[in-house]
Chains A and B, each alone.
Chain A
Amino acid sequence: MSRLQRQSLFGGAVLLLVPVAVGITFALKHNLEAALGVGFTPLALLSFVQMTGSKPEDPRVTEPPGTWVWSLRMGYVGIVIMWLYLEWHLRNGFPTVVALPCLAALYWLHRRTLGPAPSAMPQYDEREKTILTRAFRCSAQVFWVLFVLSGTFLAMKFRGQSVPASLFLGQILVGGWVIGAAMCLAILWQERRWQS
Chain B
Amino acid sequence: MAELIANRLRHWRFTRGELTQEELAQRVGVTRQTIIALEKGQYAPSLLLAFRLAAALEISLEELFQYEAAPAARRSRAKA
Are A128 and B31 in contact (CB-based, < 8 A)? yes
Main secondary structure on A side of the interface with B: helix
Are A126 and B46 in contact (CB-based, < 8 A)? yes
28 CB contacts below 8 A, A to B, read: A2-B31, A2-B33, A3-B31, A56-B29, A122-B29, A125-B29, A125-B30, A125-B31, A125-B34, A126-B30, A126-B45, A126-B46, A126-B48, A126-B49, A127-B31, A127-B33, A127-B34, A127-B37, A127-B43, A128-B31, A128-B34, A191-B33, A194-B37, A194-B42, A194-B43, A195-B33, A195-B36, A195-B37
Closest residue of A by beta carbon distance from B25? A125
Distance A126 CA – B34 CA, assembled complex (angstroms)? 9
Distance A16 CA – B43 CA, assembled complex (angstroms)? 32
Residues of B within 8 A of A (CB): 29-31, 33-34, 36-37, 42-43, 45-46, 48-49
**Chain A 120-146: CB-based contact to B (< 8 A → 1; otherwise 0):** 001001111000000000000000000
Q: Does A63 contact B (CB under 8 A)?
A: no
Residues of A within 8 A of B48 (CB): 126
Given contacts A125-B30, A195-B36, 7 further A-B contacts (CB under 8 A): A2-B33, A122-B29, A125-B34, A126-B34, A127-B31, A127-B34, A195-B37
Distance A194 CA – B35 CA, assembled complex (angstroms)? 11
Residues of B within 8 A of A194 (CB): 33, 37, 42-43
Interface centre among A2, A56, A191 (most CB of B within 10 A): A2
Are A127 and B29 in contact (CB-based, < 8 A)? no
Distance A57 CA – B42 CA, assembled complex (angstroms)? 26
Expressed in whole angstroms, the minimum distance between the Cβ of A134 and any Cβ of chain B is 13
Once A127-B43, A194-B37, A195-B36 are accepted as A-B contacts, the answer to whether A57 and B31 lie under 8 Å apart by CB is: no
Chain A stretch 145-196: residues in CB contact (< 8 A) with chain B:
191, 194-195
Residues of A within 8 A of B36 (CB): 195
